[in-house]
Amino acid sequence: MGTIRLTAAQALVRYLCAQKTEVDGAEVPLFSGVFAIFGHGNVAGLGEALYGAREELPTYRSHNEQAMVHTAVAYAKAMNRRRMMACTTSIGPGATNMVTAAAVAHVNRLPVLLLPGDVFASRRPDPVLQQLEDFGDATMSVNDCFRPVSRYWDRITRPEQILASLPAALEVLTDPASCGPATLALCQDVQAMACDYPESFFKPQLRRIRRIAPDEDELAAAAEALKGARKPMVIAGGGVHYSLACQALADFASRHGLPVAETQAGKGALPWDHPCQVGAIGVTGASAANALAAESDLVLAVGTRLSDFTTASRSLFANSAWRMIQLNVQPFDAVKHGALPLVADAQRGLGALETRLGEWQAPHAWTEKARTLATTWNEAVARATRATNAPLPSDAHVLGAANRAAGPRDVMVCAAGGLPGELHKLWRAGRPGAYHLEYGYSCMGYEIAGGLGVKIADPSREVFVLVGDGSYLMMNSEITTSVLMGRKLIVVVLDNRGFGCIDRLQQSCGGESFNTLFSAVRIDGELPEVDFAAHAASLGAISESVRGITELEAALARAKAADRTYVIAIETDPVATTAEGGAWWDVAIPEVSDREKVGAAHARYVEARKAQRRGQ
């Protein structure tokens, strides 16, 4: 067996270059690039290795470590987990800045390879610059922070260790069931150490999606339950997209007359106007989907982890005869809510169910009721998002304008705050991939960086980033990165002067407006006037401020015609939300307070909790 002498960093990079995947029938590199912010912990070792491979594995410069991981995570999501990126930082603050974004990837089950620099394995210069010292554990470094937010974690203290660790990390990154972030903490002296590696280690490897077939007994039980249901429905989650099962789901639902509701991650699995589409479900759901869920006697959940927002904190399913089938590639999710588990790939699972169900259809009256409710809901959406002359439009008015401006292939990107609730209800996604919302971790600051990842995945599409002023102020540096990379974004900043979403939640819980809006935190003097357009221009974007929906629509037209990132700032109403749709959410209210409003809110809370299902 032949060997080749390389540094550990060179071997790592060569191994990444050898990994291939298949997209639309074509073989392409699994890793499309590496985001790097160099420092003393990675510039000499990994930096040199990346320079040597720059033609085969591009290295991209970012401006914030958390943001670059958000970009990589969004890229993987936009590619339905078929392709991914790696991210590298120095030891210390560069590494810990990535931890929040690692949690985003972990919660959302998305692949990203994290390569933080680490201490010297030899310990010769201890404590090296930026090294955290644990008085009782000499093996500890800040990179141990990645352990709970990584699906796979290792510290490389010898160059030959990557022979075992890299294949293990790649297995996690590419497995549909265990998918999530993998972290290899690279001791900075080890990065530069040489080793004789087997040439076979760098043999090109094609990684195809693993499609798990269902167990026959689980399949039989699920099919029997469906056939016996009088009011069945489907909840589509993100796994439908990752399995490339959107068309399979549309065909399955149409043949059997099944209404389909969607989670945040599942939205867009069916076009908004598909006959079986009944809209978003849960806390931020459509009235049609939630009404059907309350009445349904059986739910087929496909590729969803069923978060509290999806189930209205386990209060949504009110039928005493209610049952659930969980079609999921991950057994951990398949048994939630006491469900009948159907552990399988979504596409294969739906196909197997189709064979078992034959000509069976849901009762005609149930199917027609779903379509009637969906029609009524779509009329409510049209009313909520129509153009208005109000000087301070609502979030719904703004997203309506953006939705009308977006073409059929364009993508909307958002993450945290009040916007996700309105978008989940109201955004009309015409195709899979047109709706990109990070709501597993609901991470403020994801929006612009995530939009960049989506744009890298497909530069031919316009990417509309909707972001609140709070998230914009938290992380906006990747505007500059988008300009440097020539990846145009259309960013709409909704300025409600503070954290309007949490202010509304605070007051609904009986609290006073406190530490949320600018007006609630002012000590003295006038409120700050933040010029978002001027700020965006200073980062290299084209920008403007507008008032009202008419001006916004004209600005969106200019943005679509522009050749680089375009930022539009618009003042919005911090109070107005869409009254239609939605469901209860379990937010604990203090049992004791000297304020009457809190006491009243707690009484309502106690009453609402009676609808929660107990147990699994």
Question: pLDDT per residue over 529-549, tens digit each?
Answer: 899 999 999 999 999 999 999
How many Cβ atoms are within 10 Å of 127's Cβ, its own excluded? 11
Give the pLDDT confidence score for residue 520 in this predicted structure.
Answer: 61
Give residue for tokens 């993100």.
238
What span, in angstroms and rounded, lies between the C-alpha atoms of 376 and 392? 27
Please state which architecture CATH assigns to domain 3-207. 3-Layer(aba) Sandwich (3.40)
Three-class SS state of 446:
helix
Question: pLDDT per residue over 418-432, tens digit each?
Answer: 899 999 999 999 999
What span, in angstroms and rounded, lies between the C-alpha atoms of 275 and 163? 52
Nearest one of 414, 402, 405 to 443, comparing CA atoms: 414
Domain ranges of the chain: 3-207, 216-377, 386-571
Predicted confidence band of residue 186 (pLDDT cuts 50, 70, 90): very high
Give the pLDDT confidence score for residue 510 in this predicted structure.
Answer: 81
Which residue(s) pair with 490 in the sheet?
A: 464, 566
Nearest one of 455, 465, 456, 462 to 413, comparing CA atoms: 465
- Which tokens in the block code for residue 423? 């978008």
Q: What angle, 0 to 180 degrees and rounded to 10, lies between the N-to-C axes of helices 364-385 and 419-426?
A: 130
- The answer to whether 275 and 431 have CB atoms below 8 angstroms apart is no
- The answer to whether 467 and 385 have CB atoms below 8 angstroms apart is no
Predicted confidence band of residue 525 (pLDDT cuts 50, 70, 90): low
Average pLDDT, the chain: 95
Report whether pLDDT(517) > 90: no
Question: pLDDT per residue over 200-222, tens digit each?
Answer: 999 999 999 899 999 999 999 99
Question: pLDDT per residue over 368-413, tens digit each?
Answer: 999 999 999 999 999 999 999 888 999 999 999 999 999 999 999 9
Report whether pLDDT(616) > 60: no
Q: Is the dihedral of CA 382, 388, 394, 397 positive or negative?
A: positive
- The answer to whether 471 and 496 have CB atoms below 8 angstroms apart is no
Under CATH, which number does the domain 386-571 receive? 3.40.50.970
Beta strands in 96-242 (DSSP E): 113-118, 152-156, 182-187, 194-198, 205-207, 232-236
Overall average pLDDT of the 477-487 stretch: 97
What span, in angstroms and rounded, lies between the C-alpha atoms of 349 and 176? 14
Overall average pLDDT of the 103-110 stretch: 98
Q: Which residues contact 423 (CB under 8 A, 6 or more apart)?
A: 399, 412, 414, 435, 437, 466
Give the pLDDT confidence score for residue 508 in this predicted structure.
Answer: 82
- Which tokens in the block code for residue 333? 């999710």
Label each residue of 539-573 as H, E or C: CCCEEEEECHHHHHHHHHHHHHHCCCCEEEEEECC
* Burial (Cβ within 10 Å: 0-12, 13-18, ≥19) of residue 592: exposed
User: Which element (helix H / strand E) includes 349?
Assistant: helix 346-357
Nearest one of 114, 116, 189, 197 to 157, comparing CA atoms: 189
What span, in angstroms and rounded, lies between the C-alpha atoms of 368 and 353? 23
What span, in angstroms and rounded, lies between the C-alpha atoms of 423 and 118? 41
- The answer to whether 35 and 69 have CB atoms below 8 angstroms apart is yes
Residue ranges of alpha helices (H) inside 136-215 are: 162-174, 188-191
Two domains, one topology: 216-377 and 386-571? yes
- The answer to whether 318 and 212 have CB atoms below 8 angstroms apart is no
Give the pLDDT confidence score for residue 417 in this predicted structure.
Answer: 87
What span, in angstroms and rounded, lies between the C-alpha atoms of 180 and 381? 35
Overall average pLDDT of the 150-172 stretch: 98
Give the pLDDT confidence score for residue 183 in this predicted structure.
Answer: 98
Give the pLDDT confidence score for residue 243 in this predicted structure.
Answer: 97
**Whole-Å CA distances, 491 to 77, 343, 411, 541, 553:** 20, 40, 12, 10, 13
Q: What angle, 0 to 180 degrees and rounded to 10, lies between the N-to-C axes of helices 216-227 and 346-357?
A: 60
Question: pLDDT per residue over 314-336, tens digit each?
Answer: 999 999 999 999 999 999 999 99
Overall average pLDDT of the 334-361 stretch: 97
Nearest one of 146, 478, 108 to 265, comparing CA atoms: 108
Question: pLDDT per residue over 238-264, tens digit each?
Answer: 999 999 999 999 999 999 999 999 999
The CATH superfamily holding the domain 216-377 is TPP-binding domain (3.40.50.1220)
**What is the reported pTM?**
0.96
What letter represents residue 100's amino acid? T
Overall average pLDDT of the 337-342 stretch: 96
